[in-house]
Structure 1
């Protein structure tokens, strides 16, 4: 397993982000698991992390990244100019995360949510754990 992105499976913004990442990750570096599913929760256990739906989580090389750190680490591996966003890593997380948290708190209101986790398409099914 290379890297796993744990996401809120009922959030429209999060599902859109997963589709965005898949399109820019043709080498399938990332796998995905909804936080609501047992597999997502199981992957968090070794980190003694409480389940929170307010953050995307990246598990890569035995490390756990959350919030803006996860988003920037993900961008680092995407094709195209998205890699350039990694430069914002120089900004301390206590300055980056408030914006991330604001969007996370309002994502259902702005983008809506589904009643259940998204179902991967036939082409992307192998990317989901």
Structure 2
């Protein structure tokens, strides 16, 4: 399954409890939206990395805008999370005030949390299978 040309995609750590909780939160606030999800170890993520070699070995959230299009753009770490906040709109846009913090500082904070995310939120042995109601928003043939 490929996303529609305008549909953004969030790549996330599929075995991370914090990351899975964040995806569930996004789905709760955006139940019918176009945003799609793919685990970092999915075929979709590997394809994205093939177009963006700078992502090779990255263990971070990645927001992909215009996936598969000539103007495809990727945003990583804290900027990926801010892109999600902008996508969600409403009061989530308050988080966009964090753009006043220089990205190296934001990313340093992101990396500090990412280093302990398994201790904070736990780690799954495998990527949890999404419920049938939202499965179509996940770009992984295993969920088909």
Partner of residue 10, structure 2: 5
Whether 1:46 aligns to 2:51 is yes
Structure 2: state its 5+ residue gaps: 67-71, 140-144
**Maintained 8 Å contact 1:41/1:51:** no
Partner of residue 118, structure 1: 128
Whether 1:102 aligns to 2:112 is yes
**1:4 & 1:63 partners in 2: Cα distance?**
11
Aligned length: 128
Aligned-residue CA RMSD in angstroms? 1.3
**TM-score (norm: length of structure 1):** 0.92
Partner of residue 87, structure 2: 77
**2:29 & 2:78 partners in 1: Cα distance?**
19
Distance change (3 Å), C-alpha of 1:89 and 1:29: farther
Whether 1:57 aligns to 2:62 is yes
**TM-score (norm: length of structure 2):** 0.83
Partner of residue 16, structure 1: 21
**1:90 & 1:25 partners in 2: Cα distance?**
26
Once the two structures are superposed, what CA deviation does each residue of 1:40-73 show, in whole Å capped at 9, x if it has no partner? Answer: 21122101120322x1000013110000000001
**1:19 & 1:86 partners in 2: Cα distance?**
21
